[in-house]
């Protein structure tokens, strides 16, 4: 079994397959140090924690992860807070930076004898429609190589070899560009709020998400085409404080990226013996914090299906894999699109202000929000 990518999807899948007695190898184009330190999402849904618990992969997050259950919306009509942990199904998030989760998963995988090849770039997946697919690679020294297996799991992201290797017409692509861009920022500064902050303003959206006691994630809506380094630190902090409507704890920005809000989903998530999971299967905007949570859920579904097929000859799970995952992806996609309309002034869909007012005043709307926000 060949797994492309050492992110949450690939490493959860690798750990679960090894626990089931399935031999596998993970091929990762980055270095080990990069895998352990690349900062991504940090909000784990309750169901994600249950999955990790179920398979003995949650020790780290229980030691240092922090429960979180409050959102604060700052609007032109005033601020309001939702304690979503006491609404809907009364479930919370756990704040645990993705690089720490990946470090935990990688350590468990290696401790149990798992094989991983760092600095090994997958170039193409070949013969996916046969019983013996293979992956051509470029190794650390630049030399070509090839791995063969009974299945290939593409967990290598939207631009990885798994997606690139799909022949024309093999899948349908559902893509939508929302026309909105965010400047994603990681600041060496303590959180300024005890809640996830969503600020809507005439100058654009701003977001505040705690990561650790000393690191905070910010998002700042910017014009399409803005370069990550186009704005000075002082300009960014001034804009954040203006839109957040108050002072913030300042610090150096250690990461800047520009995120174009898009939805990009493939259907089906399987072509022959090539199966897709994580961002290779679907990319949703970060507005609803679903990416890593979907990746873990899909990895568990795929691991069980592969183990049943490889160990017992039962292909029912693999046959149903795509549609099972797509049901969860579609639900997350709908909520992500709702959040985009809630947080942005979109001239073609002017629903932001009435949606915010309903969320402020309606308990039924608050219960629905809580269920969708934490659910996968």
Model confidence over 252-301: pLDDT tens digits?
999 999 999 999 999 999 999 999 999 999 999 888 889 999 999 999 99
Contacts of 191 (CB under 8 A, 6+ apart): 208, 210, 213, 216, 249
List of domains in the chain: 2-69+93-175+263-348+367-374 (3.50.50.60)
Residue with tokens 């679960």: 16
* Strands 172-187 and 253-267, bridge-based pairing: antiparallel
Rounded to a whole number of angstroms, the CA Rg of the chain reads: 21
Annotated catalytic residue, options 191, 286, 321, 328: 286
DSSP 8-state symbol, 150: S
Q: Is 350 a catalytic residue?
A: no
Q: How is residue 119 annotated by DSSP? A: T
Closest residue by Cα to residue 369 from 345, 348, 349, 343: 343
Which of 68, 93, 208, 328 is labelled catalytic?
Answer: 68
pLDDT at residue 345, rounded to an integer: 86
Is there a catalytic annotation at residue 178?
no
DSSP for residue 372: H
Residue among 151, 198, 271, 321 flagged as catalytic: 198
Q: Give the tokens for residue 84.
A: 């979503």
109-142 in b/e burial notation, b at 16+ Cβ within 10 A? beeeebebbbebbbbebbebeeeebbbbbeeeee
Residue 38's pLDDT is 80
The answer to whether 218 is a known catalytic residue is no
Q: Give the model's pLDDT for residue 349.
A: 66
- 93, 208, 290, 344: which one is catalytic? 290
Q: Which token pair is 228?
A: 């990550």
Q: Is 62 among the residues known to form the active site?
A: no
Nearest Cα to Cα of residue 283 among 125, 163, 139:
163
Q: Tens of pLDDT along the chain (376 residues)?
A: 999 999 999 999 999 999 999 999 999 999 999 999 887 778 899 999 999 999 999 999 999 999 999 999 999 999 999 999 999 999 999 999 899 999 999 999 999 999 999 999 999 999 999 999 999 999 999 999 999 999 999 999 999 999 999 999 999 999 999 999 999 999 999 999 999 999 999 999 999 998 888 999 999 999 999 999 999 999 999 999 999 999 999 999 999 999 999 999 999 999 999 999 999 999 998 888 899 999 999 999 999 999 999 999 999 999 999 999 999 999 999 999 999 999 998 876 677 889 999 999 999 999 999 999 998 7
The number of residues making up the chain comes to: 376
Q: What is the pLDDT of residue 210?
A: 86
Active site residue 167: no
Please name which of 140, 250, 115 lies closest in space to residue 192, comparing C-alpha atoms. 250
């Amino acid at each position: 079994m060949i797994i492309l990518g050492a992110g949450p999807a690939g490493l959860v899948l690798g750990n679960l397959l090894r626990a089931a007695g399935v031999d596998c190898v993970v091929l990762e184009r980055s270095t080990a140090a990069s895998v352990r330190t690349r900062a991504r999402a940090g909000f784990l849904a309750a169901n994600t924690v249950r999955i990790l618990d179920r398979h003995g992969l949650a020790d780290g997050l229980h030691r240092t992860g922090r429960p979180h259950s409050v959102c604060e919306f700052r609007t032109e009509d005033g601020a309001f807070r939702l304690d979503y942990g006491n609404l809907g199904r009364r479930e919370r998030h756990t704040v645990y930076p993705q690089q720490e989760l990946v470090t935990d998963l990688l350590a468990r995988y290696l401790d149990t004898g798992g094989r991983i090849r760092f600095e090994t770039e997958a170039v193409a997946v070949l013969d996916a429609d046969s019983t013996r697919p293979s992956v051509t690679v470029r190794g650390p020294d630049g030399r070509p190589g090839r791995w063969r297996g009974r299945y290939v799991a593409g967990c290598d992201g939207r631009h990885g070899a798994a997606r690139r290797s799909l022949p024309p017409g093999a899948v349908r692509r559902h893509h939508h560009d929302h026309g909105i861009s965010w400047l994603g920022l990681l600041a060496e500064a303590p959180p300024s709020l005890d809640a996830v902050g969503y600020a809507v303003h005439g100058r654009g959206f701003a977001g505040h998400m705690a990561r650790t006691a000393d690191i905070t994630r910010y998002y700042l809506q910017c014009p399409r085409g803005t370069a990550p380094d186009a704005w000075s630190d002082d300009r960014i902090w001034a804009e954040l404080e203006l839109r957040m409507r108050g002072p913030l704890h300042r610090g150096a920005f250690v990461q800047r990226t520009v995120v174009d809000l898009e939805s990009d989903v493939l259907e089906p998530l399987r072509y022959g013996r090539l199966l897709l999971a994580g961002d290779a299967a679907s990319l949703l905007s970060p507005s609803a914090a679903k990416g890593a949570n979907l990746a873990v859920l899909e990895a568990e579904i795929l691991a069980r299906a592969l183990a049943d097929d490889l160990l017992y000859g039962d292909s029912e799970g693999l046959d149903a894999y795509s549609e099972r995952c797509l049901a969860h992806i579609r639900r997350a996609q709908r909520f992500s699109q709702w959040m985009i309309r809630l947080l942005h002034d979109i001239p073609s869909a002017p629903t932001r202000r009435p949606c915010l007012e309903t969320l402020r005043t309606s308990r039924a709307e608050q219960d629905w929000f809580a269920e969708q926000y934490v659910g996968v």
